[in-house]
Chain A
């Protein structure tokens, strides 16, 4: 009890609320994961452990749809995140290393714009745009839309990382006769790499997970994983949906953890100021 009195960081009940918060966050996911192993057809009664629904996802009647959807999702995510990351790296170098130039603030605003506009507004606007210029909705339109809104997500970790790197390294390289490009490729880029990878992973997940915008601009006859899951759910929650959901859950967690670990490794190679109190 003495600790509670004198510890100025401690408030009664906050720990309990945190536990509640974590419970609320994880219980639905855990429940879905658990029920995805339910042997029974009925998604309510528990009838024993089984992998049948996972098998069903890959070989059952709907498997072709899911496979196509998965291919679409993954390939679009891969392409979109790569392109977005390249664009974001260029923009980050310009904004953070370019000194004070006119339009710096507005460039920053433009890059973070997709984060400020509500997703449904982006979805509607994008659909209108492609319809007006006569482009048929499908894979290409989805890809373009994804690249656009992935840029800020790739940008944030990259810029954070870049801000922590002193420009003395590049200056030393230039002093030793390296061209700008060489200095970038051999000195700055390697140092930035944890941020770049982290940004890529983030963009990948955002693209993979996107539903609203994709749903609007995909047109008929094409599905990504989220849109396929959504249509299926609208007809009622079936056990194989839970299996897919659990799979996507696992993928997300793996990617986030990777992104996180890479960031941590990156931090260790940097000269940090040390944790003060």
Chain B
């Protein structure tokens, strides 16, 4: 008998329900605007990340969802209902704090059971549920310890269990991995992702680490200076950044000044020094003139004989083990970085040599400034 595992779609129903709706939210502290009209729609059962440098407003936004800050203007809706008037203890939203904030005078079990206790769950049941949560994060043996007796990674898992115990509809995570060392962080990334998938709770994750964001998220909102720069899934964010900030912030890229000579049918003719002729997708509303394009270093390759799209002069070759990094210059003096995979090749370019490069199809993205 063949046993077929049915494939359970991530979102039941025809359209994914909106878990958190943020509409034109403005947050002002005196004269300073921490959030300048942010609008986002986070879907149910989604791993959604707010990504940006420190000071961009991502933590502020998270805190407005949690209820620790109120919005100056705009609305926040949770599964359709406006929650802006609700104090934090009345929102079915729980937070994992950056420094965990475990209650130092309570045991691990009591910490995890706290939310259940506040909701009036009977002692027997809440002990059971708390034990279950501890089991889920593999810390059952530590139930009676005090938080101070646990390592950083263990504390983080307790904070997670505590926030999940009351079964919130949305879980907010404020840079929960930033205090962990590298190996632990990488392990936790996988665990968190699996946790989200198994509990089917909406995760809103805040981080400044773009590798983390790319690795874990279903969708990412890149933020800077209180505004959302771009929202999309990791691949789109990386390969199709809309503006210079996003292109620069995520990964490494070459931002090259170009002239757009002609636009027709959504495609633009791009004039670039050293380049034979380039056609790139034109973002809406772009007019001919001086602009910038972004080309990821790994999307350039050496033209082995034949025609090259781009010519440049090699200034330095850097050996990085897995990759080779070529630091080159275009004819007009603009710097260019190329990353080549270090496989067996017949010749390495040398310093001073002029090389021909191929640009992968669709790799050149016109940026809106």
Contact = CB atoms under 8 A, between A and B. Distances in A.
Direct contact, A vs B (beta carbon within 8 Å): yes
Interface of A: 2-3, 5-6, 8
Contacts of B67: 6
Nearest to B71: A2
B33 to A, nearest CB: 18
Nearest to A4: B87
Contacts of B70: 2-3, 5-6
Nearest to B68: A6
A6 B88 CA distance: 7
Contacts of A3: 70
A2 B85 CA distance: 8
Nearest to B86: A5
Given A6-B70, A6-B88, 10 more contacts: A2-B70, A2-B85, A3-B70, A5-B70, A5-B87, A6-B67, A6-B68, A6-B69, A6-B87, A8-B68
A148 B87 CA distance: 56
Contacts of A2: 70, 85
B214 to A, nearest CB: 30
Interface string B293-315: 00000000000000000000000
A5 to B, nearest CB: 4
Interface of B: 67-70, 85, 87-88
A3 B67 CA distance: 11
A5 B70 CA distance: 9
Contacts of B68: 6, 8
Contacts of B88: 6
Nearest to B87: A5
A123 B346 CA distance: 97
8 contacts: A2-B70, A2-B85, A6-B67, A6-B69, A6-B70, A6-B87, A6-B88, A8-B68
A8 B69 CA distance: 10
B55 to A, nearest CB: 14
Nearest to A2: B70
A32 B67 CA distance: 49
Nearest to A6: B70
A267 to B, nearest CB: 26
Nearest to B64: A6
A95 B88 CA distance: 49
In order of increasing CB-CB distance, the 9 nearest A-B pairs are: A5-B87, A2-B70, A6-B70, A6-B68, A6-B67, A6-B69, A6-B87, A6-B88, A8-B68
A2 B83 CA distance: 12
A5 B68 CA distance: 9
A6 B76 CA distance: 15
Contacts of A5: 70, 87
A5 B87 CA distance: 6
A1 to B, nearest CB: 10
A276 to B, nearest CB: 11
A6 B87 CA distance: 6
A158 to B, nearest CB: 32
A6 B85 CA distance: 10
A5 B88 CA distance: 8
A8 B97 CA distance: 15
Contacts of B85: 2
A2 B88 CA distance: 12
B10 to A, nearest CB: 33
Contacts of A8: 68
A2 B84 CA distance: 9
A277 to B, nearest CB: 12
A5 B90 CA distance: 11
A3 B87 CA distance: 10
A27 B85 CA distance: 41
A262 B88 CA distance: 43
Nearest to B89: A5
A2 B70 CA distance: 7
A15 to B, nearest CB: 19
A6 B86 CA distance: 9
A5 B69 CA distance: 9
A3 B69 CA distance: 8
Nearest to B67: A6
B271 to A, nearest CB: 50
B219 to A, nearest CB: 28
Contacts of A6: 67-70, 87-88
A150 B301 CA distance: 81
B25 to A, nearest CB: 14
A2 B86 CA distance: 9
B82 to A, nearest CB: 13
Nearest to B69: A6
A160 B85 CA distance: 46
A3 B68 CA distance: 10
Contacts of B69: 6
B63 to A, nearest CB: 9
Nearest to B70: A2
A145 B42 CA distance: 73
B69 to A, nearest CB: 6
A5 B67 CA distance: 9
A53 B70 CA distance: 58
Most buried by A among B68, B69, B70, B88: B70
Contacts of B87: 5-6
